[in-house]
Amino acid sequence: MDVQGGLRPGDVLEHRYRLLQVLGQGGMGRVFVAEDLRLAGKRWAIKETVPPIGDASGFLREAELLARLQHPMLPQIVDYYGPSERNRCAYVVMELISGVTLDAELQHRGGRLPAATIVRIGSQLCEALVYLHGQKPEPIVFRDIKPSNIMLDEKGRVRLIDFGIARRFKPEQPGDTLPLGSVGFAAPEQLRGERTDPRSDLYSLGAVLYFLLSGGQYAALRSGPLAVHCTHAPEPLLRLVERLLEQAPEHRPQHAAEVLDALRALELKPRLESMGGAAAAEMSVRSEPRLMLVGGLYRGAGATFAAVCLAKALAQAGVDHAVAEHPVIEPELYALLDGERRAPQGYAFANERSAADMTAPATVWIEGYTEWVASRPGAEADDWTAEQTERWLGTIRRSVVIVDIGDRWRHPAVATMCDAAAGLLVVADPSPSKLSRSQVQALLRELDGLARRGVPVTWVANRDAPSPRRGDWLRMLPAMPAISLPAFAPQRMLEAQWLGDVVPAADEAGKAAAAAFAAFVQRAFPRGITASGPRRKSIWPPMRRSGSR
């Protein structure tokens, strides 16, 4: 690659970033470690590349696109600069990730990684692909998944580190501009210069899994069945890799979510098989999703706001979870989150995920550790049944499922969930007229009864502010609120919602809300997801859950 006119260690990019050393170099450019001259002690990774002649505007469009991505397995891009008259190179400033690349880790381990570790790596890569392929208006195809572009950070998490040839998938485009990709990991259609789509990334994922399972061999050079080269791999994993490596895209799995489901099932199975009798049954029960219901004492108390705050705290703690809007309440989550822009194409709304025999995975909306399960706007379903709720919950495969029930505690489809829940969060705000209503007082007695039966009930004081009557308000509740959410300025709430963020996180009030829920998560899950809270009767039918999404 011609990098004449590029920068060298010691140079300063745009009067801000001093290049310290070359971190890596390949066919698509160089990566530098740079120090930030404005933020003392801060270091970044800076990718230097030469865009195709006449395509500077295309580079800027793609860089702007990638800078908007937010996912824990993708590096955060913070700045970018196009070519200039004096320098043909373009630069992308991104998060500097400490860790080791996957190929280096395999070499360090003598070419052998445990199958369980490989499955976990595959699952995390799939989560990133579900996010990328779900982008709007078109999916983002990474196109260069290979071990040297995959890093294990200091916490053991998978990170995709090079977006050099990622592109939007445009159905009307007959082929890619250039047949880019890494031999040994690129899909056959990519190497031929034909059109790539999300299934091309799934082929590359299969090639990476094969590389890890075989101790460093390339899938394209294999002969004979996979089992000959991957002797320590479980048969279901080999079958999945075989499907991913099909030459024709239509013969591969069609969605990353489908592959993610299969890998997650493999993650659980070895743990169960290694245990005997009662221990396996215990693990199976504890592996069920933990159901958390979030509701308001009355409409407008702030249940949706509290559910999103809880989701942010779980994401910060690294817990995979879902926020599900129960179909019996008036839909608002999709609009609040700017679903028209952020939800993936073909997204399956909450009230469309109740089929008893779902034969294909639903298109899910995953951002980082959070899956959003929103109802279709204008589709409130008051006739929703408890049986439909069971089937619906069975399509959500996350460790924690937060269900926003609004103020519909007494609806039959909601009431049956309360005794099965791992916890209830009840939201109230300082509105004396609403608190004194007879139906609210009756609901308070019912919630107190649930608490006496052993269902953990946590009270949330929303819009809590210093006031001479604050004590009177709190005494109207059956228990002192464990979570206090401050009042946000109405203008800031509106601004945040127009940006698709329910919680204005940068405000002092937002920081206080985050701290309150972080403390709750620490109390509720003191030893992680599987060990905290009482065991309860599950409302997920195990046979129904196993093949659905």
b/e sequence 398-430, b meaning 16+ C-beta within 10 Å: bbbbbbbbbbbbebebbeebbebbbbbbbbbbb
CATH number, domain at 152?
Answer: 1.10.510.10
Res 378: pLDDT: 81
**Any residues with CB less than 8 A from the CB of 309 and at least 6 apart, and which?**
485, 503, 513, 514, 516, 517
| Rounded-to-integer distance, Cα 395 and Cα 390, Å | 9
In tens, the pLDDT along 20-69 reads 998 877 666 788 999 999 888 899 988 888 876 666 666 676 677 777 77
Residue 70: which domain range?
Answer: 12-95
> Does residue 298 belong to any structural domain of this protein?
yes
Could you tell me if 22 and 83 lie in one domain?
A: yes
Which pLDDT does position 359 carry in this prediction?
44
pLDDT at 543: 28
**Is 547 domain-assigned?**
no
User: What would the two tokens of residue 301 be?
Assistant: 């108390």
Distance spanning both ends of the chain, measured CA to CA: 45
Last residue of a domain, which of 77, 95, 113? 95
**CATH code of the domain covering residue 473:** 3.40.50.300
203 inside domain: yes
Residue 412 lies in a domain: yes
If one counts the domains in the chain, the total is 3
Report the C-alpha gap between 452 and 478 in whole angstroms: 11
Dist CA 259 CA 199 (whole Å): 11
User: How many CB atoms sit inside 10 A of residue 204's CB?
Assistant: 29
Are 186 and 266 members of one domain? yes
The tens digit of pLDDT for each residue in 204-230 reads 999 999 999 988 888 888 777 777 777
| Domain presence at residue 1 | no
Is 544 a member of any domain?
A: no
Beta carbons of 153 and 97 less than 8 angstroms apart: yes
Instruction: Give the position of tokens 């460093």.
Output: 216
Does the residue 280 lie in any domain?
Answer: no
CATH at 62? 3.30.200.20
Residues 250 and 103 in one domain: yes
Q: Which amino acid is at 310?
A: L
Are the beta carbons of 401 and 290 closer than 8 angstroms? yes
Are residues 185 and 75 part of one domain? no
Which amino acids are annotated catalytic? 144
Which alpha helices (DSSP H) does 146-255 contain, by range? 188-191, 198-213, 226-229, 235-244
Collapse the DSSP code of 130 into the 3-class scheme (helix H, G, I; strand E, B; otherwise coil) and give the result. helix
What is the distance between the alpha carbons of residues 162 and 480, in angstroms, rounded to a whole number?
50
Q: Which residue has the tokens 């509105």?
A: 431
Question: Within this chain, do residues 268 and 412 fall inside the same structural domain, yes or no?
Answer: no
- The one-digit pLDDT tens for each residue of the chain (549 residues) are 344 558 889 999 989 999 999 887 766 678 899 999 988 889 998 888 887 666 666 667 667 777 777 777 888 888 888 887 778 888 889 888 888 889 888 888 888 888 888 888 998 899 889 888 888 777 888 888 899 889 888 777 888 887 554 454 444 444 444 445 467 888 888 888 888 888 999 999 999 999 999 888 888 887 777 777 777 778 888 889 999 999 999 999 988 888 988 888 776 555 445 444 444 443 343 345 689 999 998 888 889 989 998 998 888 887 888 999 999 999 988 888 888 888 887 788 887 775 433 444 567 888 878 889 998 888 777 888 888 888 888 788 788 899 999 999 989 999 888 888 888 999 988 776 776 677 888 888 888 888 888 788 888 888 877 767 677 767 777 777 888 887 776 666 666 666 556 665 555 666 777 788 888 887 776 544 433 333 333 433 332 222 333
144, part of any domain:
yes
Domain-ending residue, one of 72, 95, 118? 95
* Amino acid residing at 78: V
